[in-house]
Structure 1
């Protein structure tokens, strides 16, 4: 579904990505692991068209999207849930979700059906659909951010640190929901500092260090890899 070849991203004199190759098959959950500054967020921004100084090739469903506009990329079926949630705090839950469906405006889509599809994943959002988003708890705001990303009916959902700052019980709930979303046909690209949780729910994983892929493989095998455990799992 997504093929990234020799991707390089620069911010001035800083080389955030130094020739990254990644291959994501449809129907999988693929996790990207690495410490702060490894280039994980830059990878998602490059796929979404949010960085200008990049080179290499990004193919989505066989189509070159390397230099495509962000709106066009979203309309093709890629949705990006950014780190830090980035909800609109002054708007209601339902208004935030409606913004997520913006690219569907010219398509024959029943918006209410899309609301209900998201509410099926996140019943709490339906209960609070008329509540101002800025008054939600941290966990509810993360659910809203993911729900908003789902409103564009993506084939590929990219999640940047969905468990960041959340209580363990909420983290477990978020991971269960990610698995459920995937089981309904959405491919997931997951960036997580909670490496243990990410490896447990994903099919395949890549490890980034200083802008380069240093390890990759079946997630269950990486979970038991001594080097990975020492570096990322606190062994």
Structure 2
């Protein structure tokens, strides 16, 4: 599956595979930031976008409910990964960046935090916080969290940043120059009277914050990358986006379970 997604879906001999692998890691004369953005856009928001992106082009309450439930587990791991970065570096700008990110996610910097907006959205659909907190994540979500936890424990700080903050590109609204064909969600949702205000508030916060968060992190990675092994950074990114793809599918799966009254 990894080969199909990242290398080729057609049968290839040893020599062809070697060339394809070399091309995969080739920076093409650019930095690691461009390599990550181009790879991510191609896989998630290009001509053949992720199924979750397609689902988000039209408002669907069940998809948003599935999003709310599974994303809660993602956010719990997110702050663990950010704290791992802080613990593994002495660079003040890196530590400051991650602390600000964690505050935004969990405490809000004077506004409602990302996790509070998520739980508000769930409650607006009739899913209590207690129920979410007592829920076991779906298999793909659990596998993804375990992989991210492993990266946080074993990898260098810069590799953890690449693995996690690259994922914020999913909601970045400024990726058209990189070949993005789809927005994260249909922006018409903000003017749609059928979309609850709690959903709009959650989407709006991400719409405003993820541009700065994702690119800010990639700028830091680019800044310090010359002092680290580029291929290790690429490996961490590839490992993370592989499980992220499956995690997004878990959002869809949870939404279908809710629609079919299986949750």
Scaled by the length of structure 2, what TM-score is found?
0.23
Larger % of helix: which? Answer: 2
Larger % of strand: which? Answer: 1
Asked which structure has the greater RCO (Cα within 8 Å, sep 6+), the reply is 2
Greater Rg, structure 1 or structure 2? 2
